[in-house]
């Protein structure tokens, strides 16, 4: 594994150049890498929330950026589905240099339709006690898609409201 240091003014953060890529079940391509702060411990205590002081995983796609801490052991060897699960539990943060784009008509409605479909799929399942492990994994993956669609629908609604002036 190699490392690159980025100077951000308030601290130095080492970014791993070991980048994992995966595509989630909704089709979004994600990059995942490790970020580790290299400022003094007292400076980290003043600047970073406690959970991020030893580093975090960064999940990035073309629309969103997320952080997850603490960093799971051997995260580099996790499966794509395991990384997707972690990504759904990561904190959403502003993307670096993100440009605001106006939502196109119908994007929120499309996400809401996807959300309705996956919720219906999960609700049509028999009781959890009767599902085998493979079926439970499918339910978990479907709920992950639902969570992503819900976040996307909320973001699109907010963007549309800002565009309309309130």
Write out the DSSP string of 58-112: EEE-SS-EEEESSPPTTGGG--HHHHHHHHHHSEEEPPTTPPP-PPPTTHHHHHH
Residue 122 has pLDDT above 80, yes or no: no
Q: What is the mean pLDDT of residues 2-14?
A: 35
pLDDT in tens, 29-85: 999 988 877 666 666 666 677 788 888 899 999 888 999 999 998 898 999 999 999
Average pLDDT of the chain, as a whole number: 75
For residue 55, what is the DSSP state?
-
Domains in the chain: boundaries: 3-93, 107-163
CA–CA distance, 98 with 129 (Å, rounded to integer) = 44
Look up the pTM and report it. Answer: 0.50
Tokens 């963007």 — which residue? 159
CA–CA distance, 2 with 25 (Å, rounded to integer) = 30
Answer for the pair 93, 66: CB distance below 8 angstroms, yes or no. Answer: yes
Is the backbone of residue 94 left (phi > 0), alpha (psi -120 to 50) or beta? Answer: beta
User: How would residue 105 be classed by pLDDT, with cut points 50, 70 and 90?
Assistant: low
């Amino acid at each position: 594994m190699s490392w690159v240091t980025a100077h951000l003014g308030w601290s130095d953060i080492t970014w791993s150049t070991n980048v994992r890529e995966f595509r989630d079940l909704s089709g979004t391509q994600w990059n995942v890498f490790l970020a580790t702060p290299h400022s003094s411990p007292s400076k980290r205590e003043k600047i970073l929330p406690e959970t991020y002081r030893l580093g975090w995983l960064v999940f990035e796609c073309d629309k969103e950026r997320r952080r997850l801490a603490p960093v799971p052991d051997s995260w580099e060897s996790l499966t794509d589905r395991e990384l997707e699960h972690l990504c759904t539990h990561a904190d959403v943060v502003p993307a670096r240099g993100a440009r605001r784009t106006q939502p196109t008509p119908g994007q929120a409605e499309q996400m809401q339709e996807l959300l309705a479909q996956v919720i219906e799929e999960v609700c049509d399942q028999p009781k959890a006690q009767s599902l085998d492990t493979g079926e439970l994994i499918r339910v978990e993956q479907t709920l992950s898609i639902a969570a992503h669609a819900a976040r996307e629908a909320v973001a699109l609604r907010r963007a549309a409201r800002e565009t309309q002036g309130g």
